[in-house]
Amino acid sequence: MEEGRLVKWVKNVGDVVKTGDTIGEVETDKAIMELVARGDGVLRAHLVPEGTTSPVGAIIGVIAAADEDISALTASAGPADAAPAEAAPTAVEAVPANSAPASEPPASEPSAAAATSTTPHDAGSVRSSPLARRLAAERGVNLSTVHGSGPGGRVIRRDIEASAASETPATAPATSATVSATVSASVSAAAPATTSTKSAPSVVPTAMQIEGEYQDIVLTQMRKTIARRLGESIGPIPTFYLTSEIDMTQVGTLRTQMAATGDQFKVSVNDIIIKAVAIGLTRHPEVNAHWLGDSIRYFRAAHVGMAVATDDGLIVPVIRDAQSKGLGDIGREAKDLAKRARERKLAPAEFSGGTFSVSNLGMFGIDQFTAIINPPEAAILAVGATDTKPVWDGTSFVPRQRMRVTLSCDHRIIDGAVGARFLQTLRQLLEAPLMMLY
């Protein structure tokens, strides 16, 4: 994550704050996080107005004692060094939740940098070296959001490189332990704090109203991230596609039987598919893998991501250890994750770390489709609608419930036969669900 947007200030300048208080809301790549105070004192300054996008590490506010001199931090010109002594004011930084992948990037220095002039510059008044300008243009970095460490706040090459180095892949292949260790205290506290007094805005899909000939809508962080990440998928990844038609009649029977034992035991087709996929992955670890550039990481457990459509775009929350969860747990978890995904209230740990993804467009009447791999995963399963079709059983055509799935495979990790064998197992498990018990 390179930048975040301050959506709103919750505490005003002059308010007394304690460690842990929510002082603002920050939009990250995928969700709106609560910005939490990491010190006691008075919120002395908002250094950016609501709606401003700042690079990770930029100082956006100051908490200090009521009478403390904070001029060094609020000075907008020159690289004043805010070397914090113990009694120094606490600079509120735009720190992202999953601020570091498993290996900590060296560019955490910018966060200790001097007061940035974060009042928004227009492009013309940003001081930058010609080289920095060119690099920013080449890398799609917004120059006005980069802190300049040169004289007079000049943005120079190392500043552009620092802003690029603080980028984090959205699905860092980190174990949950690593991620939580690097998550800043303020944000990890924010995750459960989403149940605070703030009520989530209700999200009702409406048709877009276009005024005039056309309407330009600036990309949200989420859109930008989807575009960037999936652009990094279909281009460089050598992908092939395997389609299989699966007989879902037995799955239907299973569901009916489970529902008959009690309303609380209802499960969805999706839950069963996720479970079958997870078991299949543990039997075919060659498909349960990540491309790491110079190596392939094969996982023991199946952390299955399920694609969820939100108003703003696609997000893939992960059901961890799906292979060892019962259908009930999978169902409850899937429902909760989907709901919170639509409310943009997922914690980053919940939409990263997946080893395989499933995307289901069956509910929209899509018979079959090819999904785009979620890098660095090896494959993604696209699930179509289940329909009644005539199937030859040797003597006659009989009506059966049929569903088409398409597996997109990264050929750097998976060969055709490997992918086909996985699909074969998946089909066997779904066509005879009792075999999932084996």
Q: Does 398 bind other proteins (CB under 8 A)?
A: no
Give me the least distance between CB of 134 and other proteins, in Å please: 5
CA dihedral in degrees (346, 347, 349, 352; nearest 10)? 40
Q: In this structure, are strands 296-298 and 318-319 parallel, antiparallel, or unpaired?
A: unpaired
Active-site position among 147, 290, 303, 411: 411
Give me the least distance between CB of 165 and other proteins, in Å please: 17
Nearer CB in complex with other proteins: 128/425: 128
Nearer CB in complex with other proteins: 39/150: 150
Nearer CB in complex with other proteins: 136/382: 136
Q: Does 130 bind other proteins (CB under 8 A)?
A: yes
Binding window for other proteins (CB under 8 A); candidates: 145-153, 174-182, 184-192, 345-353: 145-153
Give me the least distance between CB of 156 and other proteins, in Å please: 5
| Touching other proteins, residues 150-209 (CB under 8 A) | 150-151, 156-158
Active site residue 121: no
| Touching other proteins, residues 232-261 (CB under 8 A) | none
Nearer CB in complex with other proteins: 16/137: 137
Residue 210 CB neighbour total at 10 angstroms: 8
- Given a contact cutoff of 8 angstroms between Cβ atoms, the answer to whether 289 and 297 are in contact is yes
Q: Does 266 bind other proteins (CB under 8 A)?
A: no
Give me the least distance between CB of 87 and other proteins, in Å please: 28
Q: Does 131 bind other proteins (CB under 8 A)?
A: yes
Give me the least distance between CB of 158 and other proteins, in Å please: 8
Residues 132, 133, 138, 144: is their CA dihedral positive or negative? positive
Rounded alpha-carbon distances, angstroms, from residue 178 to 172, 173, 184, 186: 10, 10, 12, 17
Binding window for other proteins (CB under 8 A); candidates: 98-106, 129-137, 221-229, 245-253: 129-137
| Touching other proteins, residues 23-82 (CB under 8 A) | none
Binding window for other proteins (CB under 8 A); candidates: 59-67, 147-155, 193-201, 423-431: 147-155
Binding window for other proteins (CB under 8 A); candidates: 52-60, 149-157, 192-200, 266-274: 149-157
The three-state (H, E, C) secondary structure of the chain, written as one string:
CCEEEEEEECCCCCCEECCCCEEEEEECCCCEEEEECCCCEEEEEECCCCCCEEECCCEEEEEECCCCCCHHHHCCCCCCCCCCCCCCCEEEECCCCCCCCCCCCCCCHHHHCCCCCCCCCCHHHCCECHHHHHHHHHHCCCHHHCCCCCHHHCECHHHHHHHHHCCCCCCCCCCHHHHHHHCCHHHHHHHHHCCCCCCCCCCCCCCCCCCCCCCCCCCCHHHHHHHHHHHHHHCCCCEEEEEEEEECHHHHHHHHHHHHHCHHHCCCHHHHHHHHHHHHHHHCHHHCEEECCCCEEECCCCCEEECEECCCCEECCEECCHHHCCHHHHHHHHHHHHHHHHCCCCCHHHHCCCCEEEEECHHHCCCCCCCCCCCCECEEEEEEEEEEEEEECCCCEEEEEEEEEEEEEECCCCCHHHHHHHHHHHHHHHHCHHHHHC
Nearer CB in complex with other proteins: 79/375: 79
Nearer CB in complex with other proteins: 133/223: 133
Q: Does 133 bind other proteins (CB under 8 A)?
A: yes
Count of residues in contact with other proteins, rule CB under 8 A: 12
Q: Does 374 bind other proteins (CB under 8 A)?
A: no
Nearer CB in complex with other proteins: 143/269: 143
Exactly one of 132, 190, 322, 358 binds other proteins (CB under 8 A); which one?
132
Q: Does 134 bind other proteins (CB under 8 A)?
A: yes
Nearer CB in complex with other proteins: 137/398: 137
Residues in contact with other proteins by the rule CB under 8 A: 129-134, 149-151, 156-158
Residues annotated as part of the active site: 411
